[in-house]
Amino acid sequence: FGRCCTPENFFGAKIAELAKSTAKLRWRATELRRMKLIEKMAALPGSYEESDELDYVLVCVHPTPRIYVRPQKQTMEVIEICAQMGLNNARMERDGQPEAGWAVNVRDRTCPCKYFFKHGECVHLYFALYKRYGSDTPTRRPLFNRSQRKRKRGLAEDIHDAVVAQQSSRGRPILNGPALSLV
C-alpha cells in the first residue's frame, strides 16, 4: 500500500515531477513565431478579472502549411521540425482550441491544451513566456560579453611584419633618400 502513495513506479524508479524542456519543442515555437503562425490574442472584455489578466496570456496557433510529397504519397508540414514531430502531436496543439485562443497561465506555467496534458510543456507556453518576459525563461537574464574582441591576424599580415622587420635590420634604411636630401 505504501508504494502506491509515493512518486515511484513498480520497479522503484522515481517518476519525474517536472517536465524537461526539449530543444525540438523550443525550436518549433521559434519557427512558428518566425512564420507568424502563433500569435498573442487580445483579451476579450469581461473574460478575465484584472488580477488574472497579469497571469494569463491568450495564445492562438494557426495550422501550419502542408505540401504533398509524391514519392511518399502523403502530405508533410513545410516547417522541418514540425514534420519530425508528427501529425498527431501537431494536431494536439490545436485540438479543442477556443476561438479566443488558449489561456496560458504564465505564473503557474500551465496550458489547457492536450499536448501540455500529455507532455507537460507546449509551444503555447513557450510563446506566452516569450511575450511576457522576452525569453522562454523569466528567471535568467541574457549575458552579454562587453569586452573588446581581439582582432585575429591572418597569415599575410604575419608575413608582412616579418619582411618589414628583416628589411629594417640590415642594409640601407627604407626611409633613407639620396645623399644630402631631407627625406
Indicate whether 178 belongs to any domain: no
Q: Per-residue pLDDT tens, the chain, 183 aa: give them.
A: 455 555 555 555 555 555 566 788 888 888 888 888 889 988 755 555 555 567 888 999 888 777 777 887 877 777 766 656 666 777 788 888 888 889 999 888 899 998 888 888 889 999 998 888 875 554 555 666 667 766 666 666 776 777 666 655 566 666 666 776 665
Q: How many domains does the chain have?
A: 1
pLDDT for 112 equals 92
Retrieve residue 29's grid coordinates.
Answer: 515555437
Q: What angle do CA 139, 142, 85 make, to 5 degrees?
A: 80
Question: Which domain range does residue 74 map to?
Answer: 38-133
Indicate whether 24 belongs to any domain: no
Indicate whether 45 belongs to any domain: yes
pLDDT for 37 equals 87
Residue 8 to residues 5, 17, 20, 117, Cα–Cα distance (Å):
8, 10, 18, 20
Strand-pairing partners, residue 102, are 59
Indicate whether 127 belongs to any domain: yes
pTM beyond 0.75: the answer is no
The answer to whether the beta carbons of residues 24 and 90 sit under 8 Å apart is: no
Indicate whether 172 belongs to any domain: no
Indicate whether 149 belongs to any domain: no
User: Residue 30's CB: how many other CB atoms inside 10 A?
Assistant: 17
pLDDT for 48 equals 54
pLDDT for 73 equals 82
The answer to whether the beta carbons of residues 48 and 56 sit under 8 Å apart is: yes
Indicate whether 53 belongs to any domain: yes
pLDDT for 173 equals 63
pLDDT for 99 equals 86
Indicate whether 83 belongs to any domain: yes
The answer to whether the beta carbons of residues 124 and 93 sit under 8 Å apart is: yes
